[in-house]
Amino acid sequence: MPIRFTRLVLLLALLTAIAPVVAAPGARIIATGGAISVEGAAGGGIVPWSLLAGYGENQQFGGTAWYTQVQPSDFRLQAYGAAASLHNRVELSLGKQRFDIDQVIPGEVLEQTIIGAKLRLAGELIYSDMPQLSIGLQYKSNTRFEIPEAVGARDENGLDFYIAASKLWLDGPFNRSFFLNATARATKANQMGLLGFGGDRNNARKLVAEISTGLFLTRNWVIGAEYRQKPDNLGFAGEDDWYDVFIGWFPSKRLSIIAAWSDLGSIAGLEDQKGAYLSLQFSQ
């Protein structure tokens, strides 16, 4: 584990320790803030959901600070950031990704910064018959564009739009609470944007589907799976859809830990990228 990771664990532990002296977490039911996905928006691991970060309800502020590491066979993704929500209505997020491609080009990394905004339009995850509906956008800025450009990417910046619907059925299969989220996204991003935006094969926004499900074994433990469709814009190497299966632990509203196994397919010409995903999240 790199030093940065250890430091972050210590920071989270410290935040958890001092939490009781700052404001109590928001009023929403435990785990209803989901996690923060690798792009910085509240969601699962790889899919933004219609949920808003943290536990804030009306008249409350909510938020989550997070660190995530993914270790596919030949690469390493480190991502971190923070998201804040106001009145369970609006979410603003900032995320940073660093993707180690040492196996392809020794010493090189890809990087991007993602600024996100999300607006809850209608519905309430648990209490309304209709699903909770949100729209969002993610402005992504690739800060190491030389390599993406060299392999055919057209833009160093990109804008994703999405609409997401989430619903939790309290009394689902096996009398367990069942969660479902469906997201439709318009994007030009290559490997989320780490390889830039648009390409020689296609340079228009594509509409992709993303799906997540979860089953709460208890209020504090959830297992689930995700699927994320991806564009395939670059001629130099194919890009595959992503999958993961996850387990989430929410010991309190303050802290959650998500572990997953992800299948990221082919990345930059290296096939069959599978590996562990681990995320630490500190919420308000």
Partner 1 sequence: MTPAICRQWALSSLIYLAAVMVGCTTAPDARPTLYEQLGGNAGVEQLMSDFIREIAADERIKGRYRDSDIGRFHRMMQLQMCELTNGGCRYTGDDMRRTHGGMNISRVEFNAIVEALMRAMDKNAISQGVQNRVLSLYAPMHKDIVGI
Binding-site ranges for partner 1 (CB under 8 A):
27-29, 57-60, 88, 124, 126-129, 169-172, 174-177, 217-219
Closest distance to partner 1 from the beta carbon of 30 (Å): 8
- Report the residue number, 5 or 249, with the smaller CB distance to partner 1: 249
- Report the residue number, 96 or 176, with the smaller CB distance to partner 1: 176
- Report the residue number, 27 or 133, with the smaller CB distance to partner 1: 27
Torsion (CA) 102, 10, 261, 170 in degrees, nearest 10: -150
Closest distance to partner 1 from the beta carbon of 279 (Å): 24
CB 50 within 8 A of CB 181: yes
Closest distance to partner 1 from the beta carbon of 62 (Å): 12
Torsion (CA) 195, 198, 200, 203 in degrees, nearest 10: 170
Closest distance to partner 1 from the beta carbon of 89 (Å): 11
CB 202 within 8 A of CB 239: no
Q: Which residues on adjacent β-strands are paired with residue 275? A: 72, 262
Length of the chain: 284
**Up-side HSE of residue 194: CA atoms within 13 Å toward CB?**
23
- Report the residue number, 134 or 262, with the smaller CB distance to partner 1: 134
Closest distance to partner 1 from the beta carbon of 281 (Å): 20
- Report the residue number, 168 or 208, with the smaller CB distance to partner 1: 168
- Report the residue number, 106 or 129, with the smaller CB distance to partner 1: 129
Closest distance to partner 1 from the beta carbon of 226 (Å): 23
Q: How far is the CA of 37 from the CAs of 98, 143, 175, 281, in angstroms?
A: 14, 20, 27, 10
- Report the residue number, 222 or 264, with the smaller CB distance to partner 1: 222
Q: How far is the CA of 216 from the CAs of 29, 122, 170, 189, 261, in angstroms?
A: 13, 24, 9, 32, 18
229 contacts: CB under 8 Å, gap ≥ 6:
208, 209, 210, 241
Closest distance to partner 1 from the beta carbon of 245 (Å): 21
59 contacts: CB under 8 Å, gap ≥ 6:
87
CB 152 within 8 A of CB 199: yes
